[in-house]
A and B are shown apart, each in its own frame.
Chain A
Amino acid sequence: MSTVTKERIAPESAPLPSGPAAAAILAAGIGSAFYGLLVCLAEFPAVAKAFTLSKGVGPLSGKTTFGMLGFLAAWAVLASMWKGKEVNIDKVWKVSLVLIALGIVFTFPPFFLLWAPE
């Protein structure tokens, strides 16, 4: 009876799928943009009231809590979708960079104050 032996591949040389990294990178963009959007939406009084999870902190408590939960949720969903898969990192990074830029613009007072009702 012949014995078949498998060649052991050193862990460091085995290729790593790009999916988990792509998930994290895109989640950063989605999280930043989503959080920024919440900052803009909180200029509406009804939304500001709903976002006031802490009276002392005010609407910022909800903007940041829901924003960060959005970031983590996006990461969890993408990580689950792309686990073990190969994903185009270049495309993902370009999209994420645009979303991060949007998040920064949305959190800039001259921009988000435009959303305040007259």
Chain B
Amino acid sequence: MHVSAIDAWTLLHGMTFGALFLLAFTGVFAGLYSLRPELVTAEGVKERLQRLKLGTWVMAAVAWLTVITGTYIPYIPYRAKTPASPRSFLLSNPQTALWHKFGMEWKEHVAWIAPILATVVAYLVYYYGKRLVGEEKIRRIAMVMFTISFVCAAVAGLFGALITKAAPLK
């Protein structure tokens, strides 16, 4: 079983950073949702907030790592102007061309919106801290932003997996 350097980076980009972001979403979203005065005690707020601050900043960092590694490492050999590159392979056949023209083009662009939103969510949690319990409006904004961030990342992850299956990097 041989894993090349580019395979390792692609795994790191998609199956480590990307997957971590998508998996951690539910926990952090639940943390934001449950930070309500009727659901938590003062001690509970303190405990949950520590996890929420850590969770949101880690997710923001992971979102940035995902898009940066994806753009600057596996994307380069993907789009190389050689007949064997995945891009050239997909475009050479009308039946597979849409994987690039739609799938890859969407994935490589929409993904970058995820870290913008995730970073702002992390900042809102940091800025309001314990006061987030009483700021229902801000919590709602954070949850909506976080969900949009997740959807952008999920689209990118889905197409990344499908494109890799259709035209793996060699």
Residues of A within 8 A of B (CB): 12, 16, 20-21, 24-25, 27-28, 31-32, 35-36, 39, 54, 56-58, 60-61, 63-64, 67-68, 71, 89-90, 93, 97, 100, 103-104, 107-110, 112-113
Is B116 a contact partner of A109 (Cβ separation < 8 A)?
no
Given A16-B131, A100-B148: A107 and B120 within 8 A (CB)? no
Q: Out of A24, A31, A71, A103, which one reaches B123, CB within 8 Å? A: A24
Answer whether residue B47 sits at the interface, using C-beta atoms and an 8 A cutoff.
no
Answer whether residue B36 sits at the interface, using C-beta atoms and an 8 A cutoff.
no
A-B contact pairs, 20 of them (CB 8 A): A12-B129, A16-B131, A21-B123, A24-B127, A27-B120, A28-B145, A31-B116, A35-B116, A56-B80, A57-B79, A60-B75, A68-B112, A93-B141, A100-B148, A104-B110, A107-B110, A108-B106, A109-B105, A109-B109, A110-B102
A15 to chain B, nearest CB (A): 9
Given contacts A20-B127, A56-B76, A107-B106, 12 further A-B contacts (CB under 8 A): A24-B127, A28-B117, A32-B117, A36-B113, A57-B72, A60-B71, A89-B137, A104-B148, A104-B152, A109-B105, A109-B109, A113-B101
